Amino acid sequence: MALPVVAVILALLCFRVFLPFLDEILWSIVGTILFLPVKRWYLARGPGQENRAALVALAAMSVTLLLPVTLLVAVAVDQLGGLYQGLASGRFNPASALENAVLHLPDSIRALLARAGLGDFEAIQARVVAGLGRGIPTFANQALAFGGGVLNLLLSLIVILYLSFFFLRDGEKLVRRFAVLAPIDAGYQAVIVATFVMMVRATVKGGILVALAQGAVGAVVLALLGIESWLLLGLVMAVAALLPAVGTGLVWVPVALYLFAVGQPIQAVILILAGLFVIGMVDNVLRPILIGSETKMPDFIVLLSTLGGVEAFGFEGLLVGPLVAALAQAVFTRLLDRPEPPEPAAT
């Protein structure tokens, strides 16, 4: 069997072995691209210290990842402490809020609730308590599943940081080493690598800026509507904006329902309109502008590739979709700009 055939078979087997860790490999490559300038900066101060430079870049990556989470937890603890004090002092009473919501309903709906056995609030409360008692085993199972999910997330984070160290230390050498195996000329390789790096940086930076903008706009809207925990909710909204399957509606929809429940329908309608046409539109407006301005891609291509990427690949599609479109644009542009071969001379 020829050596190239063996190499292809082994490459396919390696891909199958590494397939379960494809997400971790992808995000470690992204982290390496983002923090490679830190390593280069350290090496400029003391050449030949590859291990130490990679550790410094990895430390910067870890701080960047953990600091926002730490701040979010600190703010959440503070805001939840205030919520607990409000519940303990009676300043915030969910039972009264529900009773008030029922009183604001039209007579026809209240009559319908009464016929359905939902007009007596005390009876409803008793049913809820009994249901919670019966649901304890289910809740325990869900808590165990949640704990397992958190453990898997921590393990994935450890793998990402572990891989990132080696990619930071040896990544540039590996790229040069394997470039000779690529079946394309050096010019195309340079275009693909440069486009890949530029697109990763533009997509990550654009996604973070869009999430921060949505969180800031949402926090301002909530503060203007008199929501006490506007800072916590704004931070949660910024985090939720990074998750395509969740979005900022995770925050403003429950808050709008709460405003309806406490008899503030005007504020609830304002929040719904702001969530749909202000907070929600920030992503559709800013993301194509931020990414397209650096990659020279048309805004509609950025938007469609982002939405299509999320549909095809899930969360990773936020990066993979625009990346595929940018690489295709770079390669096709180079092909179209290639000079035409000279016509054969007439005989």
Structural domain containing residue 188: 182-337
Contact (CB, 8 A) for 330 and 195: yes
Residue 209 lies in a domain: yes
Residue 233 lies in a domain: yes
Residue 247 lies in a domain: yes
Residue spans of alpha helices (H) in 90-183: 94-103, 107-115, 121-134, 136-179
Q: What percent of the chain has pLDDT over 90?
A: 19
Domain count, the chain: 1
Residue 210 lies in a domain: yes
| Secondary structure (H, E, C), 57-89 | HHHHHHHHHHHHHHHHHHHHHHHHHHHHHHHHH
Residue 82 lies in a domain: no
Residue 202 lies in a domain: yes
Q: Where is pLDDT greater, at 123 or 283?
A: 283
Q: What percent of the chain has pLDDT over 70?
A: 72
What pLDDT is attached to residue 295?
76
Contact (CB, 8 A) for 268 and 226: no
Residue 52 lies in a domain: no
What pLDDT is attached to residue 313?
86
| pTM score of the predicted model | 0.70
The angle subtended at Cα 176 by Cα 170 and Cα 178, nearest 5°, is 95
Residue 327 lies in a domain: yes
- Residues making up the chain, counted from first to last: 347
Task: Please state which of the ranges 30-34, 98-102, 160-164 shows the lowest mean pLDDT.
Answer: 98-102
| Cα-to-chain-centroid distance, residue 65 | 13
